[in-house]
Amino acid sequence: MRKSPGELRSHRWYGTDGLRAFSHRARTRQLGYLPEEHLGKPVIAILNTWSDINPCHSHLRERAQAVKRGVWQAGGFPLEFPVSTLSETFQKPTPMLYRNLLAMETEELLRSYPVDGAVLMGGCDKSTPALLMGAASMDLPAVFVPAGPMLPGHWRNEVLGSGTDMWKYWDDRRAGLIGDAELAELENGLARSPGHCMTMGTASTLTAAAEALGVTMPGASSIPAVDSGHERMAAASGARIVELVWQDLRLSRILTRDAYEDAVATVLALGGSTNAVIHLIAMAGRSGVELTLDDFDRVARTVPVLANLRPGGRYLMEDFHFAGGLPGFLAQLTDVLHLERPTVAHPTLREQLAGALVHNPDVIRPRGNPLADEGGLAVLRGNLCPDGAVIKHIAADPQLLKHTGPAVVFDDYRAMQATINDPELGITADSVLVLRGSGPLGGPGMPEYGMLPIPDHLLQQGVRDMVRISDARMSGTSYGACVLHIAPESYIGGPLALVRTGDLITLDVQARRLHLELDDAEWERRRAAWQPPPPRFPRGYGALYQEQITQADTGCDFRFLAGRGEVPEPYAG
């Protein structure tokens, strides 16, 4: 059944016979619009995360105009709303501290204005989950427009991947292999255009997950940000949302248990970012779907890694796009996907993938020639992480995936930076570097500190990976044998708080185990001696954050936002 104009949500603002409706119409005239431009038409909110400080989104101001063009042509009425920009590159201590703030802003903006549907524009790491979390809680028809990856980087005839090659060449400089002149050239070559990271980092992982969930136009997640196809996709998204409003195809019909399971399979088969674990769990919670770490580990054992993309592989996102993009990729996974579920573009995922092809079988591997036999992430358990931890083992030195070594413990990131090269620490290639105080509360905000730096003297000896464990996150563009998201975190007294330098720690990825070699009596002595740190925030948003934030294994959402319950519609009369 299609809606009639009188059934539109915006009709309560504009179409009734009362003082408030008269005022709303008068103020819309003040904005310069004629009655026939908006009355009886779906009002489409375009939530735009553009800003001057976010290079990933610096083209979205222009793309919003393409979305508007599509909305107008389809008979809708577009209104652009600026919302918080979460710039991974500049916002401190981490935009993860503010993901839930943007989610809350998204939900309440859509609820409080005369909006019938939404186009959500984002792509930099935290913006994708934040926009979808808020929109899912509001449950209107919505289409997501990914910002798109930037162009490949270049330096001296080498193709560079943002983030991944930043870490690599920074370590080369610390090892004395390159100097300041080369580093200055690299600054100009790593990031050549608008758009998010063009490796399979967190941004590409989350936008691919959004496409797998069914909330983007087909193929949208891999279109390079500066490609003209990106503008066409934005216009098509604007046209599509108008039809979704008339159909009343809300996000709750798209974001189902089946959709989230398919997003998990997609992330794992892509060799995607560990950050997707936290975000998808939080997003699923907003949709009333219970997604757990065990779901990720279960699916990881059933899907191979088919995307030959950095940091775990060779290629970049532009290569992936022209190799077939996500439609071609998902066509290799149809045996594990739920093909009869709807998407915003088609009645079923099966129809959306019909005819999808792979044009380069080295970029998107066939099932018979995977990059790895199992999904690129593993979930660990053990006495150091009773509520779980994760590792992106596809991007680690295979020799370190089963390792026992003595801990070298750092209580916070600043102390680690100041002392990592101190010879008195006695760090060797066998050491296990431990960082605590960097979780959701301890960070604060769980910063991307998890790829701890290898000491200079080891880099100069040729060491490029070590076992590193923390309650922090790491950039999806990072690599190495880094165990992350240890839960519960040390700041609230998790077992990581009790580790001491010299303790033996065992990592066994095949057995999914992370274990501290410590007898029960010593555990109890250390537990009794531990004192909780004082709260970090006496007031402001930080105080709300520390009161409401949950742990990594449950998605780091706010308790009062993740809870179930019907929020009443505002009275518009």
pLDDT for 161 beyond 90: yes
What is the tens place of the pLDDT at every residue in 515-552? 999 999 999 999 999 999 999 999 999 999 999 999 99
Residue 188 scores a pLDDT above 90: yes
Question: Nearest to residue 377, comparing CAs of 290, 476, 282, 285?
Answer: 476
- Using the predicted structure, report yes or no on whether residue 565 has a pLDDT greater than 90: no
Average pLDDT across the chain, whole number = 97
pLDDT at 426 over 90: yes
**Residues above pLDDT 70, as percent of the chain:** 100
Q: What is the pLDDT of residues 50-62, one digit of tens each?
A: 999 999 999 999 9
The confidence score (pLDDT) of residue 566 equals: 87
Structure tokens at 226: 């500066």
DSSP-derived secondary structure letter, 425: G
Question: Is residue 200 very low, low, confident or very high in pLDDT (cuts 50, 70, 90)?
Answer: very high
Q: Rounded distance, CA 240 to CA 30, Å?
A: 28
Quote the pLDDT of residue 480.
96
Q: What is residue 313's predicted lDDT score, i.e. its pLDDT?
A: 95
- pLDDT at position 1 over 90: no
Residues 147 and 57 sit within 8 Å (Cβ to Cβ)? yes
- Total residues found in the chain within this entry: 573
DSSP character string of 344-377? SSSS-HHHHHTT---S-TTTB--TTS-SBSS-S-
Residue 245 CB neighbours (<10 A): 28
Instruction: Report pLDDT for 198.
Output: 98
Confidence of residue 274 (pLDDT cuts 50, 70, 90): very high
564 pLDDT tier (thresholds 50, 70, 90): confident
- Digit-coded pLDDT (tens) for 15-46: 999 999 999 999 999 999 999 999 999 999 99
139-151: pLDDT as tens digits: 999 999 999 999 9
List, for residues 90-144, the tens digit of each pLDDT value.
Answer: 999 999 999 999 999 999 999 999 999 999 999 999 999 999 999 999 999 999 9
Model pLDDT, residue 563: 79
469-520 per-position pLDDT tens digit: 999 999 999 999 999 999 999 999 999 999 999 999 999 999 999 999 999 9
How far is the C-alpha of 293 from the C-alpha of 206, rounded, in Å? Answer: 17
Omega within 30 of 0 (cis) for the link into 93: yes
The model's pLDDT over 323-351, given as tens digits with 9 standing for 90+, comes to: 999 999 999 999 999 999 999 999 999 99
Residue 203 has pLDDT above 90, yes or no: yes
Q: What's the CA gap between 121 and 567, in Å, rounded?
A: 25
**pLDDT per residue as tens digits for the range 263-272:** 999 999 999 9
436 has pLDDT over 90: yes
Q: What is the dihedral of CA 184, 189, 194, 198, to 10 degrees?
A: -120
* Cα→Cα distances 268→327, 378, 400, 402, Å: 16, 9, 21, 21
